[in-house]
Amino acid sequence: MSFQNNIFFQKVKDYSVSKEIFELHHNPEYDILITFPKPSLEKLPSYYESDDYISHTDGKRSLFERAYHFIKGIALKNKLKLINAQSPKGKILDIGAGTGDFLVVAKNDGWQTTGVEPSEKAKGIALNKGVTFAESLSALESNSFDVITMWHVLEHVPNLDEYLTELKRLIKPSGTIVIAVPNFKSFDANFYGRHWAAYDVPRHIWHFSKTAIEKLFAEKEMKLAEVLPMKFDSFYVSLLSEKYKTGKMNFVRAFFVGWKSNLNGQKTKEFSSQIYIIKNQ
């Protein structure tokens, strides 16, 4: 893949860690946004060094964090139901496993689970829950997984082409890959613009559309089979976006924008975050 002839889209601030300004560039061929400049591999970990990076903790210090984990519990059940509908119970790999809650749920349901997680802090929490980790993707055997999941992870990977190649190598010929990513073409993304929390630069390097997912996986001889909404995400993202835009969490306004985004998504099929079901070919 080659991302050339990119067009400036807009400037976005890193609200949660560095407060630096980054640019988003649009590639019309793939309909993808790319964060510029992309942080070096040496500097990238520093942008995750925050107690507020909620997916790397089990913190419940505030009403917001408690609400996040309550919704997370519902989402875990939905994720389990989804993977059970895609494949008989077998071997599952969760890339970017975080604190391990999804793998714990899957293991308890009879799946053989493996995780990959770069954050030592998050991995330490997950290990205490009995989660098994591989050191890296390259250490895993080819054609060894029935299902591979990446829940809001693909947007973070520095080398996109390398990761997609690894996914193709690791998945069984009849396997399924489940990718969940934010959708910059959603109503709430358009409403909040540069304050949209799901841009989350520079941790989010890539910002996907359905077209981007379909084309990128097709180049690796994998097929987009289904697109599903993540309806809770519109409320969570709108709540953070309100904070970035106004300095405070306006629960009422965020709920309204999230509700309107989901309503709009019913017509356009463009939800705040979307799950892409990819089948190997």
Looking at per-residue confidence, does 4 or 264 come out higher? 264
The pLDDT of residue 53 is above 90: no
Looking at residue 48, its pLDDT comes to 87
Which backbone phi and psi does 119 adopt, to 5 degrees?
A: -80, 115
Note the pLDDT tens digit of each residue in 195-241.
Answer: 999 999 999 999 999 999 999 999 999 999 999 999 999 999 999 99
Domain borders along the chain are: 7-280
Please identify, in words, the CATH class of the domain defined by 7-280: alpha beta
Q: What is the mean pLDDT of residues 170-195?
A: 98
**pLDDT of 67 higher than 70:** no
Instruction: Answer whether residue 65 shows pLDDT above 80.
Output: no
254 exposure class (CB count in 10 Å sphere: 0-12, 13-18, 19+):
buried
- Dump the DSSP string for 99-126: TSHHHHHHHHTT-EEEEE-S-HHHHHHH
pLDDT at 280 exceeding the cut of 50: yes
What is the arithmetic mean of pLDDT over 268-277? 98
| pLDDT of 70 higher than 90 | no
Q: What is residue 128's predicted lDDT score, i.e. its pLDDT? A: 95
Distance CA 140, CA 160 (A): 18
pLDDT of residue 75: 87
Which pLDDT score is estimated for 52? 56
Using an 8 Å Cβ cutoff, are 85 and 114 in contact? Answer: no
The pLDDT score that the predictor gives to residue 68 is 60
* CA–CA dist 93, 113 (Å, integer): 6
> What does the longest C-alpha to C-alpha distance in the chain come to?
49
pLDDT of 30 above 70: yes
pLDDT for res 54: 47
Range list of β-strands (E), the chain: 7-13, 21-27, 32-36, 91-95, 112-116, 145-151, 171-182, 206-207, 222-229, 273-280
What is the per-residue pLDDT across 162-179, written as a single tens digit (0 to 9) for each? 999 999 999 999 999 999
> Is 142 a residue whose pLDDT tops 50?
yes
The percentage of the chain sitting over the pLDDT mark of 90, rounded to a whole number, equals 85
pLDDT at 144: 97
User: Cα–Cα distances in Å, from 164 out to 154, 179, 229?
Assistant: 9, 11, 22
**Mean pLDDT value across the chain:** 93
Q: Taking residues 151-165, what's their average pLDDT?
A: 96
What residues contact residue 256 under an 8 Å CB cut-off, 6+ apart?
none
- Please check whether residue 34 is in contact with residue 6, taking contact to mean a CB–CB distance below 8 angstroms: yes
Mean pLDDT, range 182-195, rounded to an integer? 98
How far apart, in Å, are the Cα atoms of 185 and each of 70, 127, 233, 245?
27, 37, 14, 19
- Between CA 97 and CA 161 the distance in angstroms is 20
The strand pair at 112-116 and 32-36 is best described as unpaired
Cβ(10)–Cβ(24) below 8 Å: yes
